[in-house]
Amino acid sequence: MKCPGRAGGRLLVLVLALAAGPLAAGFQDPSEVPAQASSLAAKSPLTAVATAGRRLVAVGQRGHVVFSDDGGSSWTQAQVPVSSDLLAVHFPSPELGWAVGHGGVVIHSADGGKSWTRQLDGKSASQLIVDYYDRAAADGSLAQAGEYATREKNVVAMGGTQPFLGVYFENAQRGYVAGTFNRILRTTDGGKSWVPLMHKVDNPRELNFFNIGAGASGLFLVGETGSVWKYDPGADRFVAGNVGYDGTLFGIAVGGKVVMAHGMRGSVFRSADAGKTWQRIDLGSSAGMTGAALLGNDDVVLVSMAGTAFISSNNGQSFSPLSLPRPMSYGGVAAFGERNLALVGAEGVRSAALAAPQGLGPAGATPSSARGSN
């Protein structure tokens, strides 16, 4: 990241990890050390949560991954080959999932999140990026290939590896991982091999990508300076756009009727035309919005790093405060079942069942019940 001050929510983990550094003589690369078993894994800081069919899977610090098969009433820790902080997770099917995080790690599960294997790390990612652009420069097949190769070699020379902050898979074979300084890779074979796409994004300033998501309205990247990039399948390229904001966007929720982007200082933007135009939505809050979820009836839920939550029952046109029990600093949220939420943050993972839509009053919504590991 270019400036720790731009971080928020789930990226707090990233900033702390960057600050720590390998100072101890006995330092071991977290990407090569399995996550330790802990009875407190579900109560430790977690940064992202996703659904894997009916299962819930959450990821977080030190390679912790936990899953629940009972709607969040109980959680089991998964076997993970890395102890790197994990920042994002996505399952395109109940069995197949991918998670990414610090140190450039990409891990894969073929059993619904119970166990994981490492597919990529920062060193191997840098090497494949250098090799790809060196070849393109040598055969003249890609303009500016030499510049991309040189930039990556400089990263390697400085001894650093760049984190991946977002992951999205369209299906079992085709998926993307994205992160800092214009870094984005694509696989078409389920992660067995990866191809750099830095030359296929309109991002000359090499702004950081903070998240990637898709739905009926398309595939989107979001990042710094209010930037939103939408994938153009015909051109095989991510085309730049902007929501009209100079701050960082942390995430995006993509539906058929609405696309919601959210970020720093309570910033929320809505598009009803698949990302062509954007309208700022006033929440009356200055807290960084760290997660968004679309419910089946087109309700939208937002959560913040300040422990506040908001709900919309009109496709994101306006929001009311959402009262959740035992609030914490939230890092992410996922919807499951009819009207259920899985929430992750500073105190682990919790779940809540929302009241029926007709029970929503003018002051907001109240969960009918809540569950969690705490």
CATH number for the domain that contains residue 282: 2.130.10.10
For the entire predicted model, the pTM comes to 0.90
How far apart CA 63 and CA 70 sit, in angstroms, is: 23
How far apart CA 238 and CA 170 sit, in angstroms, is: 16
How far apart CA 321 and CA 283 sit, in angstroms, is: 9
The low-confidence residues of the chain, meaning pLDDT below 50, are 1-25, 359-366, 368-369, 374
Residue 138 domain-assigned (yes or no):
no
What value does the mean pLDDT of the chain take?
A: 90
Among the listed residues 100, 97, 99, 86, the one whose alpha carbon sits nearest the alpha carbon of residue 41 = 86
Summarize pLDDT for 263-290 with one digit per residue, the tens.
999 999 999 999 999 999 999 999 999 9
Contact 210, 250 (CB under 8 A): yes
- Domain limits at 338? 29-119+161-372
Sign for the CA dihedral angle at 287, 289, 294, 295 comes to negative
How far apart CA 100 and CA 86 sit, in angstroms, is: 6
How far apart CA 76 and CA 66 sit, in angstroms, is: 5
Residue 148 domain-assigned (yes or no):
no
CA distances (Å), 345 to each of 200, 230, 307, in order?
34, 28, 9
Residue 13 domain-assigned (yes or no):
no
Residue 11 domain-assigned (yes or no):
no
Contact 149, 157 (CB under 8 A): no
Report the pLDDT value the prediction gives residue 297, as an integer from 0 to 100. 73
Residue 346 domain-assigned (yes or no):
yes
Summarize pLDDT for 113-153 with one digit per residue, the tens.
999 999 999 999 999 999 999 999 999 999 999 999 999 99
Domain total of the chain: 1
Report the pLDDT value the prediction gives residue 356, as an integer from 0 to 100. 76
Report the pLDDT value the prediction gives residue 358, as an integer from 0 to 100. 52
